[in-house]
Amino acid sequence: MTASADFIAPPADQPLLRSVLRGALRVLFRGLVRPPLPVPFQRAVIRALTAATLPVAGVSREAGHLGGRPCEWHRPSQPSGSVLLYLHGGAYVAGSPATHRAICAHLAARTQASVCALDYRLSPESRYPAAREDAIAAYQALLAAGYPAQRIAFVGDSAGGNLSLITSLRLRHLGLPQPGALVCFSPVTDFTGSQLHSPAGGDPLIHPNWVTQAIGLYCPADVARDDPGLSPQFDDLTGLAPLLLQVGEDEILLNDSLRFAAAAQAAGVEVQLERYPGLWHVFQAHAGLLHVADFALARVALFLKARGF
């Protein structure tokens, strides 16, 4: 699969640390977060793997509610007046604001925007479109609180990247303004799974069987997998907000970002695509540990600053 890229990151440093992390993820995440292990166990594993989060200087955290759902706010000491609505990954079956505290806190520090991590409903308890309804309600609550649309960005990883895109596209049908920007880390854009990538070194994080399980739990039986509401790859992307896509090259979802970037560019959307050789799915979660993760989030800050954030 090929697509033009605005930016290809230089080779990452810290080879020993990257090797250790890759091996640990292969055993502890890919090896455990998949069937036949039940979803509650998978959630517990992800909580355990993300439990140790170091505080980030100059950023405070507080619990809250937004649009009828729990959330966590990460606030810099001198907030810019912009807000990032963070939609976490976890295949729509796992994850929470608590599992993504590191990336949210580092985003707040890098961008000086307040970051709100939304605890949207998960499947199988609440299937599509429950998560999208929660994200729309949260966005409406931010607008009602006085945040201008152009100072709100949707940021999401993996399934949260999918949620960022389908929520933004749904806003058109509801007559609501687009957010000022979209930032997606390795989003799912095609739930048919027909063009998954096979990295030479293997994907150390995502087991294909987990993807299959998650799709079955999240997608209603009467909704086609290529329905634009599920798979933004097949929607009309005209009018979508300026978009930054970051994706690792050693992950099965590489082609989702490449194909979506090409489709968005063809629709006239302002798109910045960034590829990171030798990196895995949502490597940005290692901010504060991996230099390349810090570098990627610095690129996010530059992207948002150029758009008035």
158 carries an active-site annotation: yes
| Whole-number pLDDT of residue 5 | 62
**Any domain includes 273:** yes
Helix (H, G, I), strand (E, B) or coil at 91: coil
pLDDT classification of 201: cutoffs 50, 70, 90: confident
| Whole-number pLDDT of residue 54 | 86
231 carries an active-site annotation: no
**Any domain includes 115:** yes
**Any domain includes 1:** no
Helix 159-174 and helix 130-144, axial crossing angle in degrees, nearest 10: 60
In whole angstroms, give the CA distance from residue 284 to residue 291.
10
E strands in the chain: 7-8, 59-66, 69-76, 83-87, 114-118, 152-157, 181-185, 243-248, 271-276
**Among the options 74, 100, 207, 281, which is catalytic?**
281
281 carries an active-site annotation: yes
CB distance 28 to 262 below 8 Å: no
> Which CATH number is 247's domain given?
3.40.50.1820
**Any domain includes 280:** yes
Give the whole-number percent of the chain exceeding pLDDT 90.
95
Q: What is the mean pLDDT of residues 263-272?
A: 96
Strands 114-118 and 69-76, by their bridges, are antiparallel
Q: What is the pLDDT of residues 143-177, one digit of tens each?
A: 999 999 999 999 999 999 999 999 999 999 999 99
**Any domain includes 284:** yes
Q: State yes or no: pLDDT of 70 exceeds 60.
A: yes
Q: How many domains does the chain fold into?
A: 1
In whole angstroms, give the CA distance from residue 120 to residue 111.
23
In whole angstroms, give the CA distance from residue 37 to residue 201.
25
The per-residue pLDDT of the chain, averaged, comes to 96
**Among the options 158, 168, 231, 257, which is catalytic?**
158
**Any domain includes 145:** yes
Helix (H, G, I), strand (E, B) or coil at 79: coil
Q: State yes or no: pLDDT of 53 exceeds 90.
A: no
**Among the options 72, 133, 251, 274, which is catalytic?**
251
Residue 216's domain spans which residues? 7-305
**Any domain includes 122:** yes
Strand partners, 156: 87, 184
Q: Which residues are CB-neighbours of 3 under 8 A, at least 6 positions away?
A: 258, 259, 261, 262, 273
pLDDT classification of 1: cutoffs 50, 70, 90: very low
pLDDT classification of 6: cutoffs 50, 70, 90: confident
- Residue 156 has phi, psi (to 5 degrees) of -155, 155
Reading the block at residue 79, the tokens are: 């907030």
**Any domain includes 2:** no
